[in-house]
């Protein structure tokens, strides 16, 4: 087992015990999420279950912003399964502010969104036993962790693949310098000949990220094991 996954498992066990000690089994979905078996690190990418997630937020700093919408899609057997694609808008406490320009969401639309707890329930079911994939995990995980801590008292503990880091390593391997913009989702996709999508919707960005990941994996010369992506 890889050290990465071992540490994650230990961490998850710790938080599971902590949660159960404080709340017993108040939220069975969370307990399920915290106990469901993960794929083995030595497993091939083409057999591993993954969930690609993207968030749209009202601010770049988790402390100042909120999650406005979330979209995800899973990868099974190396293929993106559209049946699993899901997208939710979330009721906001604050206004959308400046970011509405980017996401084309208006306050009145968002006020009709679902309560955050309902979305989290769906997320817990979709994400259990899966490796989470983000493009630039640091930002999205910042928001998710903060949200989880507020709601459940524990952070999101899951193995994480970050396509931005994968692309960065690959780019640095081939080129000496990272220039502005080359690691943006759509610049990365262009390098694999992937088509342009209408940008900035949490679901289409999640699909775009999922396609980027399968393209990235296909362009490695040998069969890719899960642990090579962490």
Partner 1 sequence: MNQASDQPEISAITDFLSCCLPFDQLTDSERNKAARQLKIAYYRRGHIFIADNELERGLCILRSGAVEIRSPDGQLLDRLAEAESFNITGLDTEHPGVKAVLIEDCLIYNLPEDCYQQWRSEHRFFDRFFHGQRSRRLRRAARYEPDHNAMMRPVIELMSCDVLRTSVETSIRDTAQAMNERRVSSIVIMSGESLYGIVTDRDLRSRGVAQGIDVDLPITNVMTQRPYFINSDATVFDATLQMTQQRCHHLPVIDDGCLRGIITASDLMLAKRDDPVHLVQHIYRQADVGGMKNVVSSLPNVMQGWVASGVRPHQISRILTAVSDAIARQLIKLAIEKLGEPPVPFAWLGFGSQARAEQLLGADQDNGLLIDNSMLPEHKPWFESLAHFVCDGLDLCGYPYCLGEIMATTDKWRQTLSGWCDAVNGWTRAPSTDAVMRVSIFFDIRVVYGSESLGLQLQQHMLSRTKNDTIFLAALAANVLSHSPPLGIFRRFLVERSGEHRDSFNLKKRGVIPIIDMVRIHALANNIYEVNTRERIDALIKCKVITLNDGRNLQDAFNYIMQLRLQSQSEQIVNGQEVDNYCNPEDLSDLARQHLRDAFTIVHEAQEAIRLNYRSGMA
Contacts with partner 1 by CB under 8 A lie at 71, 77-83, 85-89, 109, 112-114, 118, 122, 192-195, 197-198, 201, 203-204, 207-208, 210-211, 214-215, 218-219
- 78 C-beta neighbours (distance < 10 Å), count: 16
Least CB distance from residue 217 to partner 1, whole Å? 8
Least CB distance from residue 109 to partner 1, whole Å? 6
Per DSSP, helices labelled H in the chain are 3-23, 28-35, 100-103, 107-110, 116-127, 137-151, 163-174, 185-191, 202-218
Least CB distance from residue 87 to partner 1, whole Å? 4
Least CB distance from residue 27 to partner 1, whole Å? 19
Measured from the CB atom, is 111 or 175 closer to partner 1?
111
Least CB distance from residue 139 to partner 1, whole Å? 21
Measured from the CB atom, is 2 or 99 closer to partner 1?
99
Measured from the CB atom, is 11 or 220 closer to partner 1?
220
Spatial contact of 190 and 208, defined as CB atoms under 8 Å apart = no
d(CA 212, CA 230): 16
Measured from the CB atom, is 96 or 210 closer to partner 1?
210
Measured from the CB atom, is 183 or 215 closer to partner 1?
215
The torsion angle over the Cα atoms of residues 36, 39, 40 and 45, rounded to 10 degrees, is -170
SS3 sequence, 94-140?
A: CCCHHHHHHHCCCHHHHCCCECHHHHHHHHHHHHCCCEEEECCHHHH
Measured from the CB atom, is 105 or 157 closer to partner 1?
105
- 176 C-beta neighbours (distance < 10 Å), count: 6
Q: 3-class DSSP state for residue 203? A: helix
Q: What angle do CA 134, 4, 213 make, to 5 degrees?
A: 30
Least CB distance from residue 5 to partner 1, whole Å? 25
């Amino acid at each position: 087992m890889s050290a990465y996954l071992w540490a994650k498992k230990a961490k998850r066990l710790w938080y599971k015990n902590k949660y159960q000690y404080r709340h017993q089994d108040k939220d069975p979905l969370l307990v399920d999420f915290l106990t469901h078996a993960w794929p083995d690190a030595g497993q091939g990418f083409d057999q591993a279950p993954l969930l690609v997630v993207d968030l749209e937020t009202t601010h770049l700093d988790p402390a100042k912003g909120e999650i406005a919408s979330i979209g995800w899609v899973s990868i099974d057997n190396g293929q993106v399964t559209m049946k699993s694609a899901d997208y939710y808008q979330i009721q906001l406490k604050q206004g959308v502010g400046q970011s509405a320009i980017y996401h084309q969401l208006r306050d009145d639309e968002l006020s009709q969104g679902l309560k955050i707890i309902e979305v989290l329930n769906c997320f817990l079911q979709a994400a259990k036993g899966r490796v989470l994939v983000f493009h630039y995990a640091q930002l999205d995980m910042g928001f998710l962790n903060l949200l989880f801590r507020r709601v459940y008292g524990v952070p999101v503990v899951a193995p994480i693949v970050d396509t931005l880091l994968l692309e960065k390593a690959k780019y640095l391997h081939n080129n000496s310098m990272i220039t502005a913009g080359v690691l943006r989702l759509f610049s990365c996709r262009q390098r694999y000949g992937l088509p342009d999508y209408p940008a900035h919707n949490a679901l289409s960005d999640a699909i775009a990220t999922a396609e980027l990941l399968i393209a990235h994996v296909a362009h490695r010369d040998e069969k890719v094991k899960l642990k090579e992506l962490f």
